[in-house]
Amino acid sequence: MSLTLYDVTVPVFIRAFGNLTEILKKGEAFADEKGIAHKELLETRLVDDMYPLISQIQRASDTAKFVPVRVGQIENIPMADEEVTFADLHARIEKTVAFLNSVNSATMVNREDAEVIVKTRSGETKFTGKSYVLGFALPNFYFHVTTAYAILRHKGVPIGKMDYIGRSQ
């Protein structure tokens, strides 16, 4: 049995969101323990020109949702970027995971050569389903999840590699 674009994305995203949820819980508990305002932690950036923690979660969510939308051609569920609390971020992750769990894997079968167009303010980029997943979506997703981890770690939250990777399959 060969791997499909669904196999290398949707279950991977769901697992990573489970780990990210636990990391965020540790971040919130750390802030409470140390008397750090949640807003301070949630608005932290690694560098001035990078997104803050909240936006890292939003971009990871969008990236994960867009894979089945763009590759499987299913309808997106828009999510406004209105999160301001840890509870909001947990709700966003839960909604994203619920969406991913609703994806029928058949929608992404034989879509490796399908055209995927990503539109941004600077123009369009054309991919195949395979090149989009492997060369854009997965790296972009992990960039934002890793940056969220790094922000919390940078602020002193006691998390490590196994929190990021997770302990079970």
CATH number at residue 56: 1.20.120.450
Left if phi > 0, otherwise alpha if psi is -120 to 50, otherwise beta: which for 126? beta
Within a domain: residue 86? yes
109-126: per-residue pLDDT in tens? 999 999 999 998 899 999
Q: How far apart are CA 130 and CA 167, in angstroms?
A: 29
Number of domains present in the structure of the chain? 1
Rounded CA-CA distance 26/61 in Å is: 19
Q: What is the reported pLDDT for 2? A: 86
Question: In this predicted model, what pLDDT tens digit does every residue of 65-74 receive, in sequence order?
Answer: 999 999 999 9
Q: Is residue 1 part of a domain?
A: no
Residue 5 belongs to some domain of the structure: no
Which whole number is the average pLDDT over 142-156? 98
Residue 146 resides in a domain? yes
The span from the first CA to the last CA of the chain, in angstroms, equals 20
Environment class of 108 (CB within 10 Å of its CB; exposed 0-12, middle 13-18, buried 19+): buried
- Average pLDDT on 126-148 reads 98
pLDDT digits (tens, 9 = 90+) for 82-99: 999 999 999 999 999 999
